Amino acid sequence: MRDVAALAGVSLKTVSRVVNGEPGVSPDVRDRVRAAVGRLDYRPNLAASNLRRTGARTGLVGALVQDLSNSFSAGLLRALEDAARRRSTAVLAASLDEEAEREEALVHDLVTRRVDGLVLMPASERQDYLVAELRTGTPAVFVDRPPRGVDADSVRVDNVEGSRAATEHLLDLGHRRVAALLDIETIPTAEERRAGFTAAFTARGLRPDPRLVVPNLRSTDEATEVMHALLALDDPPTAVFTGRNILSAGAVRALAERGLRREVALVGFDDFPLADLLDPPLTVIRQDVQRIGATVADLLFERIDGDTSPPRHVVIEPTLVARGSGEIPPPPRTR
Amino acid sequence: MRDVAALAGVSLKTVSRVVNGEPGVSPDVRDRVRAAVGRLDYRPNLAASNLRRTGARTGLVGALVQDLSNSFSAGLLRALEDAARRRSTAVLAASLDEEAEREEALVHDLVTRRVDGLVLMPASERQDYLVAELRTGTPAVFVDRPPRGVDADSVRVDNVEGSRAATEHLLDLGHRRVAALLDIETIPTAEERRAGFTAAFTARGLRPDPRLVVPNLRSTDEATEVMHALLALDDPPTAVFTGRNILSAGAVRALAERGLRREVALVGFDDFPLADLLDPPLTVIRQDVQRIGATVADLLFERIDGDTSPPRHVVIEPTLVARGSGEIPPPPRTR
DNA sequence: TTGAAAGCGATACCAG
DNA sequence: CTGGTATCGCTTTCAA
């Protein structure tokens, strides 16, 4: 900047004015400065300018999600990005892979970078450490999972209702031997989905077979394996509820490998691309990622703009999308 | 930081030493400083520290991709992120949606933010504007598409070979009426894929029916619509080559809606999740996203570390993954 | 309309 | 082992 000022024959302050489009600079001088900027490839240093600027913002928000390559995380990020762009804000994104230590380290890093706000799909069970971080004034919005040990805004779907609806859908068709493939138990979302599954049975005075309820599945491959084992039972399930998109894929694969896709009913939590092109098309509980992301962004930017009202917890209702796989009736001879 | 120094009864420089883990501080003093940091919720300002630090890096790289929510872009980003994490570097990600102006604005913004490096899946046809930006010293690596008007590293797959292989695969089965659904013509990748398609015909002394070659498709829905139109012809295609994952989805949908999934052969460029679970499973030309992303990261970080050798252009060979949809033979009566 | 000087939060360099 | 002082690149404040 000093070089630019020298080349244009003006003071630093004048260059600053031109660069920031401030008024009070004669056209003549402005053009000289612009020319110098071009000649020297000068780029203002945003960090340095923010240093002195009062009430400065970095125009940066951090988003810590489960896995950037998963369609749910990716869709969320995309919705956040769209909202951020309207505010000339950039998004720093990272995957946590359900590792709590990584979460804590990344949050600390982002706060140190002075991001204007934080979107968090937490991997940790509790976020007490966040209290100190947020005291620095960085607002945070939780998504998909509720905050624990810290008070902050959150946006998520009603997992209990969603999985209850999925399960009732299967029970209504007459299924009784319904399996459930679920995510890691420490994730609140997984627990809620399990609760909804059980609640559907209870409401009818029934009880799920505990052997058919398998939690702690971390990958598509694990789900495939478990599904195979369940189907090999003497008294195999006639229907399955899968608690997450990657687990649905695993279940479909096992069914396909056994030629049972049209025999065993399947309802999955969370929609994903092409689910409607499977054969039979997959019946799912859909979370409106677009809407969730937009709501997260709304909350976050309101906080960034200074809103200090008590934390809000938005719950979005998921919807059952019946496409075929969930409408397969139980075989006649089964009870 | 001043407050911390005061509370701990030491100088600024000592606080700096403790915060940065520099040697030469007595344990006693260090503990006092740490305590003060905790009491005051002090967080060092990374921007400010980088300002003075010599050869400072922001520990930030920018990634401008086509669409964060598309599996190819998302997978690429994930691979980049993994490499970046090993270098304690964060990733600023944004979608370009094939808008050249957005690309230029974002690049400028990222340079102003002093990112250490740039990954670019360009939306623009030429990137002459980059010459000035890169003169500031920020290295850039192109991915999926080659640089034009600027000299920079690039990583991409051999699109001509990939689509030639896909097309030959279909011709070998005896198909002659092969349709091609392609992306926007201004994208080099799309042009190369079209060239490969044509080359496969030419190599056999054949010529594709121009009416069956449809470029400039922007979405899954457009692909579905076009596919329907092609299938409604008097002399419909017996096989289809789709030039991009979202177009494959559109073609599959149209075939499904007409009950022709097992009648018309389909090979798609670019694999995607669950392609193997479709019925029939989708035959694709797979680009190894993981490897592409890792290669991009390697090149970028070498540049960041000061490598000034001439730009390198890495071409990765895609592979044909035969799963079923591409192995459907033409109907007997067809020629 | 323009500029000089002070200061943002931190590190570099050199003394003590 | 510890501290003072200049300085990073830019904005703010105030004066000309």
In a domain, B273, yes or no: yes
Do A249 and A281 belong together in one domain?
A: yes
| A53 within domain boundaries | no
- Tell me the residue type at B97: D
Nucleotide D8: closest residue by CA–C1': B52
**Residues A231 and A330 grouped into a single domain:** yes
C-alpha dihedral sign at A16, A18, A24, A30: positive
Chain A 70-129 residues in 7 Å CB range of strand C: none
Q: For residues B328 and B98, give the distance between their C-alpha atoms in angstroms, rounded to a whole number.
A: 34
Instruction: Choose the closest CB to A136 out of B38, B41, B273.
Output: B41
pLDDT category of residue A334 using cuts at 50, 70 and 90:
very low
CA of A134 to C1' of C10 (A): 22
Nucleotides of C under 7 A from a protein CB: 1-13
Does position A6 have pLDDT exceeding 80, yes or no? yes
Instruction: Report how far residue A153's alpha carbon sits from residue A143's, in angstroms, rounded to the nearest whole number.
Output: 9
The three-class DSSP label of residue B242 is strand
Asked if B53 CB < 7 A from strand C, the reply is yes
| Cβ pair B135:A41 closer than 8 A | yes
Q: What is the pLDDT of residues A131-178, one digit of tens each?
A: 999 998 899 999 999 999 999 999 999 999 999 999 999 999 999 999
C7 C1' to A53 CA distance, Å: 11
Its sign, for the CA torsion A186, A192, A193, A199, is positive
At B335 the pLDDT is: 45
| Strand D atom within 7 Å of B10 CB | yes
Arithmetic mean of pLDDT, A73-79 = 97
Residues from chain B contacting residue A260 (CB–CB below 8 Å): none
Separation CA B300–CA B288 (nearest Å) = 18
- Counting one residue from A and one from B, how many pairs have CB atoms under 8 Å apart? 143
Q: How far is CA B177 from CA A73, A206, B173, B206, in A?
A: 40, 57, 12, 11
Residue A301 lies in a domain: yes
Indicate yes or no: CB of A51 within 8 angstroms of CB of B46. Answer: no
Q: How far apart are CA A160 and CA A22, in angstroms?
A: 54
Structurally, how many domains does chain A consist of? 3
The separation, in Å, between residue B63 CA and nucleotide D10 C1' comes to: 27
- In a shared domain, residues B109 and B223: no
Say if residue A163 is in the same domain as residue A257: yes
Lowest mean pLDDT segment, chosen from A239-253, B45-59, B134-148, B185-199: B45-59
Report the CATH number that the domain containing residue A138 is assigned in CATH.
Answer: 3.40.50.2300
Query: Do A145 and A169 have their domain in common?
Result: no
Q: Which pLDDT belongs to residue A23?
A: 86
Q: Which domain holds residue A13?
A: 2-40
Same domain for A171 and A207?
Answer: yes
Q: Are residues A110 and A73 in the same domain?
A: yes
- With respect to residue A51, please indicate whether it lies within any of the assigned structural domains: no
B328 and B205 in one domain?
yes
In sequence order, the 6+-apart residues with CB closer than 8 A to the CB of B97 are B66, B67, B123
Indicate the residue of B38, B111, B274 with minimum beta-carbon distance to A274.
B274
Cα–Cα nearest to B217, from B198, B245, B255: B245
Whether residues B294 and B151 fall in one domain: yes
CB contact under 8 A, A136 and B43: yes
Q: Do B272 and A273 count as a contact with CB atoms less than 8 A apart?
A: yes
Q: Check if residue A28 sits with its Cβ under 7 angstroms from strand C.
A: yes
Q: What is the pLDDT of residues A289-318, one digit of tens each?
A: 999 999 999 999 999 999 999 999 999 999
- Mean pLDDT over B277-295 rounds to 95
Domain contains A48? no
Q: Residue A212: inside a domain, yes or no?
A: yes
What is the amino acid identity at position A104? E
Rounded to 5°, angle at Cα B71 from B194 and A91: 120
Averaged pLDDT score across all residues of chain A: 94
pLDDT beyond 80 at B15: yes
| Co-location of B116 and B213 in the same domain | no
Residue of B nearest to A50 (CA): B47
C1' nearest to CA of B1: which nucleotide? C9
Examine residue B22 and state whether it is found in any structural domain, yes or no: yes
Same domain, residue pair B192 and B141: no
Say what the pTM is: 0.94
Residues 42-61 of A with CB under 7 A from strand D: 43-45, 48-49, 51-54
The tens digit of pLDDT for each residue in B205-220 reads: 999 999 999 999 999 9
Round and report the angstrom distance from CA (A51) to C1' (D7). 15
How far CA A161 is from CA of A188, A274, A315, B223, in Å, comes to: 14, 24, 11, 36
Residue A200, in any domain of the structure: yes
Q: What is the mean pLDDT of residues A51-75?
A: 93
Strand-pair partners of A316: A157
Contacts of B335 (CB under 8 A, 6+ apart): B176
Same-domain pairing of A234 and A279: yes
- Judge whether B81 and B61 are in contact, CB under 8 Å: no
